[in-house]
Structure 1
Amino acid sequence: MTVYFRLRTGQRSSEKPRQLYIRLKVDGVECSDYASGVYVRPDKWNSSQQKVVGYSKLAQETNNELESILAEHKSLLAELMRLHNAGVIPLLPAAETIKQHWTRKATLIPTLLDAFQTHYTYLRSLKGTPEAREERTLSKWKNGMDYLAEYVKLSKSERLTCDLISNKWAEGFYHYLIKKPLGLATAARYTGYLRASLNHLVEIQQLAQNPIANYFPDKGKDKPIYFLEDEHLDKLWQVETPTESHGLARDWLLLLCYTGMDQPDLERYVASPGNFTEETEAGPMIVIPRGKTGLIACIPLLPEVGRVLANYPGGIPKMSNQEINRWTTIIQDQIGFTERLTVKICRKTAGALFLRKGYRIEEVSKVLGHSSIQTTLRNYVRVTGAMVRAGMLRVQGASQSTPFIQIHKTA
């Protein structure tokens, strides 16, 4: 490593004090110059000797300060090498890395809050891209960061770095959230946000490994899975809607049930169906990235969707989640649904509906835009007799289409 102090071009012959800049080179690779914070008179600066000439007290103090800066850079390089050799940081230290640490734009190992803030900032930067998160999801991330800030302050561990935590530490944070009190699922979600933030540091090579990569706290017992059966859907089509808002709420619920989309995604689709519809050999299919996760949902376009949208030649008017939910209590009584009807129930209804139509669970998982079948099984599927009958019909159809081959034995 070489540290070279230099004056900027055009500032080398003045008597007016000018700031020295640092040109750092590590393994033959330079980074851009950066300010040292030390000012010298150009006519007193000897660049070849790298010091201020003269025996004045000011000259001695300035030279001592430059020696201190050089020692700090060497110390940083040694510490970064130690951390690399110990497997804490993944990359060999480079000139740019040392510059970032010395100018306090980075710490040797990020703190937990630094990690969370880095990932949260990254998620915010995705706005306008297919991977962007919904605002309500980002709001949950901000809540998780606030709870983490509370906990590290309470435990006096604000400067705790990411490499020093363990599953036991994460468990302490999880139990702290439960005592707030938060539900088990919410506490597990916020702990998962911290785990995801550390994974992000690993991906951008600021951390060699995530010490809590395998910590998955208890989310509590699975909630009962409710959805509308065929009889409820039949009644939903036929409900009396004496007001325009009542009818509009009913139609949004129908669209949610027959597509399985989250409401913001459904709003994007109905605003411009052609942008998200693909023609396949089996018929039209909706292909849309989920705003919540960026995962692609592939949804067979059912005729019921067109039946609803045909009532709105100029496009179906938007209706907020809150507006729809003001009507769901009335509508759930009209269709005889005994549980609380919500837009989330409609998304689960789509999962059940496609299963009843004979689609396999892995296909339904793709319809709903899930990252894994386990998410579908855990939160969206309750097998009914109608689904078994649909499976029987699918199997029978497959067996009938397969020719029977008789094997003749020869003597």
Structure 2
Amino acid sequence: MNDVTKPLHIYFRLKMTGNQRFIYCRISVAGTVATDFSTHVPYHPSWQQKSQLFNEQALEVHNQHLCDIKEDIRILYRELRRTMDGVTAQDIRNRYLKQRENRTLVQCLDHHLKWFKAQVGAPGFAKGTLKVHTTLDRVVRGFLNHKKRKDISLAQVRLAFGKEFVLYCRSTKQYAQNYLVRCLNYLKSIIDTAVEDGFVNANPLAHLSESKLEPAEITFITEKEIELLRKTDLLTAGQRRIADAFLLQCFTGLCYCDLKRFSPKKHIREICGVRCIQYAREKSSTLFTIPVLPYVDELIETYGENLPIISNQKMNAKLKEIAKIVGIDKHLTTHVGRKTAGTYLLNHGVRIEVVSRILGHKSIKTTETTYAALLQQTIIDSTAHLRAA
């Protein structure tokens, strides 16, 4: 029997659970209707019954979940029709819920990466962040391989599993503490999503936590070292280009991925009579505005659209060579250039909330945390005249 004579319909509707409304799923086949079941997606005023979707970007994760439910049910229906006659709506419902109960960790990992890849390009979903998620995904899969397991059902993920994962990251892989925290939080977020999707009732790792280390003192180069880089004649033509790209970071605060995207033609505009660099950070889609300082104008005049940007890894290797040649006893990286910009601005009296906007931080707390030690010195210096009185 084919789909024409026995059509499948999947429909979402609102129902009350206790004192809260949720989206429920109804399956019908050839007029027979199965018992509704909860998708575990809570109601929101942006829900559109006609389109069967939420009309709000922030709830796209719920829309994707509902679409996945429909697709999974359609696939299941086709599979059942190949193996049994007279498939009813209740058969599909029961088999689907049984599959949902048997959801595995690898299935959740696969689903997360598939979903994230589909979002790349939308605000807050950068290619660089996808790369980070892909790397963290490999850590979790590596742990399963370490346990000689291809997969594990969500029902088998217990607190002991999480503790073993932490030990694996710390002892076997010897990750730094802050990266260990990142790996653990990623695993917990995967289980949290499974809870939201109704595959498990609670996250057994919810109370398993590791603390990050206090932020290390930031590395930046001084104005004297900046001048040394600007005026040295000890560099080759290739090294000069890399040094200039780094100096552009020191005077703008652009991180590597945004430096790579920078185009004077596209991203420089006049704001309130001042030439400014303005576009959104790739990482967070946060808009930043950077007034063009005189030396930045010189670099743009020199290179135009041909800013010499190579891979981050190669650029950092070249910066290490350059530091040694000119006598800067610091481990130079592209990130040091960004930190130098923040330090330079704060040392020249630019208010921290302005520095935060220039650097494109989502929250001023990020700026305060990063430059905490420097701000303490600023506080002491700014109140010197009061103590003298």
TM-score bucket of the superposed structures, by smaller chain: 0.5 to 0.7
Q: Which residue is equivalent to 2:264? A: 273
Deviation of 1:257 (Å): 0.9
DSSP 3-state at the match of 2:224: helix
Deviation of 1:359 (Å): 2.5
TM-score normalised to structure 1 length: 0.64
Q: Which residue is equivalent to 1:173? A: 165
> What is the CA–CA distance in structure 2 between the aligned matches of 1:249 and 1:390, rounded to whole Å?
35
Q: Which residue is equivalent to 1:407? A: none
Q: Which residue is equivalent to 1:364? A: 355
Count how many residue pairs are aligned between Structure 1 and Structure 2: 327
Matching of residue 149 in structure 1 with residue 141 in structure 2? yes
Matching of residue 229 in structure 1 with residue 222 in structure 2? yes
Deviation of 1:207 (Å): 6.8
Q: Which residue is equivalent to 2:119? A: 126
DSSP 3-state at the match of 1:286: strand
The match for 1:245 among 227, 238, 261 is: 238
Structure of higher CA gyration radius: 1
Q: Which residue is equivalent to 1:160? A: 153
Identity %: 22
> What is the CA–CA distance in structure 2 between the aligned matches of 1:351 and 1:165, rounded to whole Å?
44
Structure 2: runs of 5 or more not aligned: 7-27, 38-51, 53-69
Q: Which residue is equivalent to 2:332? A: 341
What amino acid sits opposite 1:25 in the alignment?
V
Q: Which residue is equivalent to 1:196? A: 189
Q: Which residue is equivalent to 2:211? A: 218
> What is the CA–CA distance in structure 2 between the aligned matches of 1:202 and 1:295, rounded to whole Å?
30
The match for 1:35 among 69, 78, 84 is: 78
- Kept after mapping to 1: 8 A contact 2:120/2:130: no
Inter-CA distance 311–110: structure 2 relative to 1 (3 Å threshold):
same
Inter-CA distance 386–337: structure 2 relative to 1 (3 Å threshold):
farther
- Kept after mapping to 2: 8 A contact 1:225/1:381: no
- Kept after mapping to 1: 8 A contact 2:249/2:338: yes
Q: Which residue is equivalent to 1:376? A: 367
Inter-CA distance 263–75: structure 2 relative to 1 (3 Å threshold):
closer
Pairing 1:78-97 to 2, within 5 Å after superposition: none
> What is the CA–CA distance in structure 2 between the aligned matches of 1:141 and 1:8, rounded to whole Å?
39
Cα-to-partner distance string for 1:311-363 (whole Å, 9 max, x where unaligned) = 12453233333443343234324554322111111111111112112223333
Q: Which residue is equivalent to 1:305? A: 296
Q: Which residue is equivalent to 2:345? A: 354
Cα-to-partner distance string for 1:116-169 (whole Å, 9 max, x where unaligned) = 32222222223344434335x534423322221233451869333279645x64
Q: Which residue is equivalent to 2:283? A: 292
TM-score normalised to structure 2 length: 0.68
- Kept after mapping to 1: 8 A contact 2:29/2:89: no
Cα-to-partner distance string for 1:58-116 (whole Å, 9 max, x where unaligned) = xxxx7xx658x67745646xxxxxxxxxxxxxxxxxxxxx5xx57x6xx2374333333
- Kept after mapping to 2: 8 A contact 1:276/1:287: yes
Calculate the aligned-residue CA RMSD, in Å: 4.1
Deviation of 1:213 (Å): 5.4
Matching of residue 138 in structure 1 with residue 181 in structure 2? no
Deviation of 1:253 (Å): 0.8
> What is the CA–CA distance in structure 1 between the aligned matches of 2:155 and 2:354, rounded to whole Å?
39
> What is the CA–CA distance in structure 2 between the aligned matches of 1:388 and 1:322, rounded to whole Å?
37
- Kept after mapping to 1: 8 A contact 2:251/2:341: yes
What amino acid sits opposite 1:142 in the alignment?
T
What amino acid sits opposite 1:321 in the alignment?
N
DSSP 3-state at the match of 1:310: helix
